[in-house]
Structure 1
C-alpha cells in the first residue's frame, strides 16, 4: 500500500508531500491542473527513465520519495536476491541531478533502474491506455483463467519443473556439442596420451638420466682414474695406506709419553680408518664400472624422447608433462563415456517431460472447468456497465510444446453486439470497451490474487450516469481487498471515494505551481458541485453534491 508520496522540484511541483490510506481514493482537478504530473512523478519513483525536462529549477536536483507498506506482499525473497534490507515499511527514493544523471534507492541502498522497476511492478499497477493493451495479450488472458481456477500453486510447481527441464536440455546440448568436437580430437588425444604413457615420466628423471649418460659416455676415463686412485692408495712404497700405516706405527711408540702423543695417535688412527673405507668404496666402484654400449644407447634414447616431448608440448619440466598427461587421460576418458552420459541425460529429460505433461494436463482440466464461469461473469458485469450484448468465446486447445504457462493455446474472442462476428479483442474492441473490460477483469483478479495498489487513470472517460455509478461501485468493491486510486472527472465516481484529493494550480508572481490537498466533507461538497455545475455554484448543484456523498 502506498502510504506517503513526497515530490520536490518536479515539473510544476515545487514541494509536495501527501499521505494516503487504504480503501478507495479519488483524485480530481480541472483539466491541466497537474494530475498527469502527479502520475509522472509516481512513475519515476517506480523506475521510469527521466531527463532534465523533469526539473522545475534546472540547477537544483529533483527528489521523489514514496513509502509503501509491504508486509503482505511476500517480497522478502526479492529483497534477498537483490541484497537489499527488507522493511515492512519500505521507502523508495529517486533523485534527478542537474547534470541529467539520476540515482535510485530502496531503503537507502543504491539500486539500478531495472531493480527499481521490478519492485515497482509489485507495488503499483498504474492503469493507462498502454496498460489496457495488455488485456489483448494471451499470457494476461491466461492469467485471468488461472486465477479463477486456483492454479497458482500448480503453475509454480510446473514453472519450477520447466526451469529444471530447460537447464537439463541446455546441458544435453552442451554434451552433444562437446561430443562432436571431442570425436574429432579423440584419436589425436589418444595418440598423445599413449606417447606420454610410454615415456618414463617422473619428477627428476631427466637429471638422473643425464647423470647416468655422463657416466656411461665417459667410462674409459672413469676406469683410468679409478685405477690411478687404487694405485695411489696401495702402492707399497708411495701408497697412501702404507705410509699412514707406518706413521701410526711410529706414533704408537709414543703414546705412553703423554696425552698429546696419545691424541695425535688416535687422530692418525681415525684418518687411517676413513682412508681404508674410501679405498674399499673405490675398489667396489672400480669393479662395477665397465663399458656398456647398449646401456648408453638406451639412456640416450630415453633422454632424447624426454627432450622431444618437452619441446613438443612447449614446457620445460617433466612435472608439466605429467599434468598434460593427466589432462589428456581425463579428455580421452570423458570422450569414451560421452555416449553413456548423453543417454543418461536423455532419459532424465524424458522423465521430466512426462511429469511436465502430466502437470500441464491438470492445468488444462482446471482451466476448462472455470471457463464457463468466467464467460458468464465477464458478460454479466459488462452488461451492468452499458454493454448488454457483450459476448465472449473462450476456448482452450493443447499445444505441442512447453511454454511458461503450460501446454495450452487460449482463444479469447469478443463481440460487443448481439449477432456480431467474434474477433480478437485488439481488433474488434474500442478503447472505451477495452477500459471497461479491463476494469471488470481487475475486479475479478482482486478476488483471487493479492494484487498491488491499483491506480486507474480516467478509466471512466466517455461514460456517464448509471454506468459511471456502476464503475465506481466496482472500484469501491475492489478497495475492500486492496488500495485503489481513481483519477476521475466524474462526480458520480468521486463521490464514492473513502478519501478525496484535489489537484490544483496556483499562480504566483513569477510562476505557476501545482499542488494537492485532501478534502474534508464540506470541501468535497464544493468540489463535487463544481464538477456537476461548473464554476458557478448553485443551490441545486450543492444539494446534488450532498446527495451524491450521502
Structure 2
C-alpha cells in the first residue's frame, strides 16, 4: 500500500502531502479542483502515467526483488518521479528505467479507467476457477502441476521430433557435408600451437646460413683464448671470470650449431606449405583450437545422423506416450472445471446483480491444449462481447471478477485506482458499486474519485480537494467535515438541512 504521497509544483498544486490508510480512500471536491490531476500524479510516481510535476513521490510497503532490479529492499520503499528536461524515475534514490518500474508496479497496481482486458484473460479466469475447485477439497493444484510438467515435456519431445524429421529429409546431404568437413581437417591434422612452432622454424631457417657464417668467424676467438689467460696470470688476476665467460660463449655457439644441424633435414618448402594449410584452417574456423572443436562436433553429428532411425523410433514412442497422458490429464482437469463453472457463473451474476448489471454468460469450451489445460473461459454480458459494452459496464464487470478473485487473496492485494467509476450512475447503482468496493477494500488499498454521496460515505478515509486563491489543496476530513462535504455533493453549494441530515445518516449507517 501507499503510506505517504508527496506532490510538488504541478499545475494548480504547490505542495501536497497525504498519508493514505489501508482500505477505501475517497477523494472528492468541486469540479475543476484538481481531483484527476492528483490521481494522475499518484500514478506518475509509480510509472503508470506521466505529468509535468516537479516531483511526485510515493512511499510504499511493496517488496522489491533485489536480484531482478538490483535495488536494496527496505521496509518502506520510496518511488519518485521527477520532471525537469525529461522524466526520470527513482526507487530509494536509485535511478530506474520506466520499463523496469512499470514491470515492478504492474504486480501491485491496477488503474480501472481504461478498458484493460487482463482480468478477462483465460489464464486469470482459469486461475479463479481452479482456486474455487481447490477450496472445495479437490486437489486440483497437484493435478495442474503434473499436467504442466507433462505438457512441457511433451512439447520438448515433439519439438525434438520435428527437428529430427526436418533433418531426416536432407540427412544424406548432411552426412556427406559432415564427412567432408571431418576429412578436410583430419587430412591436415593440426596440432595446438603448431603454427607458432612452424613460424619459429621458418624464421630460423631463413637466418641459418648467416648465423652459421658469423659463428664460424667468431670461433677464432677461442684460438687466442690461452693468450688472455696467460696475461691475466702474469698480472696475478684470477682468470676464473674469463674462463666462465668463454665456457658460456662456447656452450651458446655449440647449442646454436646443434639446433641448426637438427634443421638440416627440414625442407623449407614443406614448412611453408604446412604454414599455408594451417593458415587456411585459421581463416575459416578462427583458430586451430576452433577447427579441432568443429571437427569433434561434426563427428558427434555424423554419429547422430547414422543413429537417426533408432533415435526417431524412441522419440515417436515417447511422444505418443506423453500425448496420451497430456490428453488424459487435460480431460480430468476439464471435468472438474465443467462441474464448477455453473457455480462460478452463479456467484459472478450475484455480484453483477448487486452492481445493477445484466447477467453474464460464462462459457467453458475446448481449445488447443496450453500449459493450463484445454479449457477456455469466455464471458459475454447479456450475449454482448466485452469489446462492445460501455466503459461503465466493463468496469463494473471487472469489479465482479475482482471480488471473485479476492476470496483467494491475502490482505495486501495491491492498489486499485478508480477515477469516477460511479459517474452517471443512479443512487442505487452507486451504492451497489460502493458495497462491492467496500468488500474489495479488505484485500486492496483503493483510491477512488467520486461525485456520488453513496460511494463517498463508504470510505474509511476521505480527502477533500479544493482551491484556495487558485491554489489546489488537499485535506483529510473528520466526521463533521465529511457530513458537510457529502451534503454539498447532494445539494450543491447551497447546502440544505435535508442534505445534511441525509449525509449524516449515510455516514453513520456505513461507519
Q: Counterpart in 1 of 2:76?
A: 89
Aligned equivalents of 1:206, 1:384: Cα separation in 2 = 89
**Hey, what does 1:527 align to over in structure 2?**
485
Aligned match for 1:112, one of 76, 89, 97: 97
More displaced, 33-42 or 172-181?
Answer: 172-181
Q: Does 1:124 align with 2:116?
A: no
The aligned counterpart of 2:405 is: 445
Residue 374 of structure 2 corresponds to residue 407 of structure 1: yes
Q: Is the 8 A contact 2:129 2:337 kept in 1?
A: yes
Q: Within the alignment, does 1:431 sit opposite 2:391 as a pair?
A: yes
CA displacement 1:440-478 (0-9 Å, x = unmatched): 222221111342122222222222233322221221122
1:376 equivalent in structure 2: 346
1:394 to 354, 363, 374: 363
1:332 corresponds to 2:298: yes
Q: How far, CA to CA, are the matches of 1:22 and 1:540 in structure 2?
A: 32
Distance (Å, rounded) in 1 between the aligned partners of 2:297 and 2:207: 38
Instruction: Answer whether contact 2:191 2:288 (CA < 8 A) is retained.
Output: no
Counterpart of 1:16? Answer: 16
Give me the whole-angstrom Cα distance separating, in 1, the residues matched to 2:113 and 2:269.
85
Indicate if the aligned counterparts of 2:356 and 2:432 stay in contact, CA closer than 8 A.
no
Deviations 1:219-254 (A, max 9, x none): xxxxxx9xxxxxxxxxxxxxx9xxxxxxxxxxxxxx
SS at match of 1:530: helix
Distance 1:309 1:4, change over 3 A: same
CA distance in 2, matches of 1:500, 1:139: 36
Distance 2:79 2:158 in 1: 40
List gaps (5 residues or longer) in structure 1: 56-61, 216-224, 226-239, 241-259, 261-273, 275-284, 290-294, 416-421
What is the distance in 1 between the residues matched to 2:25 and 2:2? 11
CA RMSD of superposed structures (Å): 4.7
Match of 2:355 among 365, 375, 385: 385
Which of 439, 442, 453 is the aligned partner of 1:477? Answer: 439
- Once the two structures are superposed, residues 50-98 of structure 1 have per-residue CA deviations (whole angstroms, 9 ceiling, x without a partner) of 36xx14xxxxxx111101123xxxx45x33211111123211111111x
Q: Is 2:205–2:268's contact at 8 Å kept on the other side of the alignment?
A: no
Shift of 1:210: 11
Instruction: Confirm whether residue 28 of structure 1 aligns to residue 28 of structure 2.
Output: yes
In the alignment, what sits opposite 1:257?
A: none
How high is the TM-score relative to the length of structure 1?
0.68
- 2:485 and 2:190 mapped to 1: Cα distance? 98
Structure 1 residues 458 and 304: CA distance shift in structure 2, 3 A: closer
Deviations 1:298-338 (A, max 9, x none): 967854652552454468xxxx9853652343233232134
1:145 maps to 2:106: no
Equivalent residue for 1:545?
Answer: 503
Q: Matches of 1:435 and 1:200 in 2, distance apart? A: 70
Q: Compared with structure 1, are the counterparts of its residues 174 and 537 closer, same or farther at alpha carbon in structure 2 (3 Å cutoff)?
A: same
Deviation at residue 377 of structure 1 after TM alignment: 0.7
- Equivalent runs, 1:101-500 vs 2, <5 Å: 101-131=86-116, 133-134=117-118, 137-150=121-134, 185-197=177-189, 204=197, 302-303=270-271, 305-310=273-278, 312-313=280-281, 323=289, 326-339=292-305, 343=311, 350=319, 360-361=330-331, 363-387=333-357, 390-397=359-366, 399-402=367-370, 405-415=372-382, 422-427=383-388, 429-450=389-410, 451-500=413-462
- Maintained 8 Å contact 1:210/1:303: no
Structure 2 partner of 1:267: none
8 Å Cα contact 2:182/2:298 also seen in 1 = yes
Q: CA deviation at 1:47?
A: 1.0
- Matches of 1:504 and 1:407, distance apart in 2: 54
Q: Distance in 1 between matches of 2:298 and 2:92?
A: 54
Name 1:282's counterpart in structure 2: none
- Per the TM alignment, residue 29 of structure 1 is displaced from its structure 2 partner at its CA by 1.3
Structure 2 SS opposite 1:148: helix
Contact 2:341 2:362 in 1 (8 A): no
Equivalent pair of 1:147/1:449 in contact (CA under 8 Å): no
With over 3 angstroms needed to count, the CA separation of the structure-2 counterparts of 1:458 and 1:134, relative to structure 1, is: farther
Distance of aligned partners of 1:324 and 1:465 in 2 relative to their CA distance in 1, 3 Å threshold: closer
Q: 1:87 to 1:192 in 2, by over 3 A?
A: same
- Show CA shifts across 1:380-423 (max 9, x none): 22223333x524142231x33435x44333332331xxxxxx24
- Counterpart in 1 of 2:252? none
Q: Hey, what's the Cα distance between the residues in 2 that align with 1:395 and 1:426?
A: 19
Indicate the structure (1 or 2) with the bigger Cα radius of gyration. 1
> Which of 496, 517, 539 is 2:475 aligned to?
517
- TM-score (norm: length of structure 2): 0.73
1:154–1:363 Cα contact (<8 Å) kept: yes
The answer on whether the counterparts of 1:532 and 1:541 sit within 8 Å (CA) in structure 2 is yes
User: For the residues of structure 2 that align with 1:155 and 1:38, how far apart are their CA atoms?
Assistant: 44
DSSP 3-state at the match of 2:407: helix
Q: How far, CA to CA, are the matches of 2:414 and 2:143 in structure 1?
A: 22
**Aligned-pair distance for 1:173?**
8.3
SS in 2 for 1:459: coil
TM superposition shift of 1:7: 0.5
Residues of 2 paired with 1:384 and 1:367: CA distance? 25
1:471-495 C-alpha deviation (Å, 9 max, x unpaired): 2122112222332232211111111
Paired positions, count: 453
CA apart distance, 1:439: 1.7
Q: Does the aligned pair in 2 maintain the 1:396–1:408 contact within 8 Å?
A: yes
